Chain A
């Protein structure tokens, strides 16, 4: 069976390898350039205090490279619909299951070998792209400490392996259940995008308990290292939280929520809001029990989060594979 899989997929495998090589070449060139740039600014940065504004003005890599690295986000989905979706569906569509399933091997064996090699290839592909992206991001991580941020977290470390395996398993399952390659491709892309968004936006912030720091409103707070700020804003003495609303607010608090006594301080002077007035209003709020807060996942949670997220996607992939096996074994050819 392995021989047939190899013969069937060697052209696709070679194409994938060529694509990986091209992607790697571009990333290596860009990565080396970033590293040189990093060395030249590193001295300047350490001369100032750590994280001094001069460092952040440097754009490491430029926009082309960032676009390119962003592309690696969709690599798993591409693997899912290119390799996963046709695995069963195409053989059903072309009728070759009638050949494959009447040889002297069980369907279970047929699927194990085929899906096994493909998932391994997907894991290697995802891992290779992830490793490249991690290496490429090294200087940027050192400078911007951004590896925990959504969009950066997703392309580095080990999570790309989980995504690639999940997307491929989703494609295989969709193809086995729906038996039409095109429909399976659509479901794979849609399903992968939906699950990724759901996990990263809704589930990920809660993998481990977050840490919250409180401070004087307006003072601001930067958690140490590459922490991931989940939310920040202002909380009043009744525990009411004000976040985000950028329009008409005083340090995150809508102007309407600023106590009337403090609000008058804002407009004491001329039309424009001066810094002095703002500070007076903030002090007034602090006296009234307002506190600034920053809820974040500390940098030490980075690898646990990588592990948990990878585990979730591998578990989802295992569930999808179980469905695929049941369908292939029990449904008529």
Chain B
């Protein structure tokens, strides 16, 4: 099976708001997919639809070849970690690990224990008394102990300090390596730098729409920043897709998705990195949320 996750015009409407509209994305097997977008773009909604915690109001969603459903066999394949790190605050990590053993067919409690011990996280203290970073590690440990084939992580590092974030992502990449190509991950976050380090696939959502979906390296190769004299750009736009344009008094800077090569020597082409790509598309989408995300990006 090549596409582990596939959605077709997937939509989710709540009473008044449209959380996700006409979302068509594909994530092949064994990818670590970054799910990026400003607050309210629909990231959480998409992850919840994939996990079967919410039902679509339109379109189709397929995970591991079938619609997400309340069925033990399907649920056993899915690891889901919600943004608010939901754990029973009065129960200890050990309690959670033992509960997991009762609730899942293939449960690797021992590796969860040893991972938490390595990080010096107390197994016998109520998780409510642990720090945010430790709680996130416990929750990730539990999610991985399920030995899922699809791991859905909703902003798991948002609340963590840089060191805890590094530990968390370290645990994640180690688990992916351990799984040997059997594990597909979708990871949402605001922090593009973190995602760039671990992800090889991207879904960019803004204002409930998909802006971009694909292999990161391929997308980076397809896109260039062109800097040239301020002149008529319409001939360029005829061949290539201009994603975002910034004009100053004398020159113009454009993020362009290339269709072939740029023949006009007036433009100087340079490589883009993930952050430029993402911000370019968010600017192009011209949603008010863009300003917010840019501010968040600068904060961190």
Contacts and interface: CB of A to CB of B under 8 A. Distances in A.
A95 B53 contact: no
B84 interface: yes
A150 to B, nearest CB: 41
B54 A333 contact: yes
Nearest to B89: A94
A98 B99 contact: no
Given A96-B87, A98-B53, A103 B100 contact: yes
A102 B79 CA distance: 7
Nearest to A104: B76
Interface in A89-136: 94-99, 101-108
Contacts of B98: 3, 7
B146 interface: yes
Interface in A1-16: 1-4, 7-8, 11
B54 A96 contact: no
Contacts of A108: 70
B91 A98 contact: no
Given A94-B86, A96-B88, A106-B71, A101 B103 contact: no
**Residues of A in contact with B, size category:** 20 to 34
Interface in B63-105: 70-73, 75-76, 78-80, 82, 84, 86-91, 95, 98-100, 102-105
Q: Interface size bucket, B side?
A: 20 to 34
B146 A106 contact: no
A271 interface: no
Nearest to B84: A95
B104 to A, nearest CB: 4
A4 B103 contact: yes
B48 interface: yes
B216 to A, nearest CB: 27
Contacts of B55: 332
Top 10 nearest A-B pairs (CB, nearest first) are A95-B86, A103-B103, A332-B54, A333-B53, A104-B76, A98-B82, A102-B80, A4-B99, A104-B104, A98-B86
Given A104-B105, A105-B103, A332-B54, 19 more contacts: A4-B99, A4-B103, A7-B95, A8-B88, A11-B90, A94-B86, A94-B89, A95-B82, A96-B86, A98-B53, A98-B84, A99-B87, A102-B53, A102-B79, A104-B103, A106-B70, A106-B71, A106-B75, A332-B53
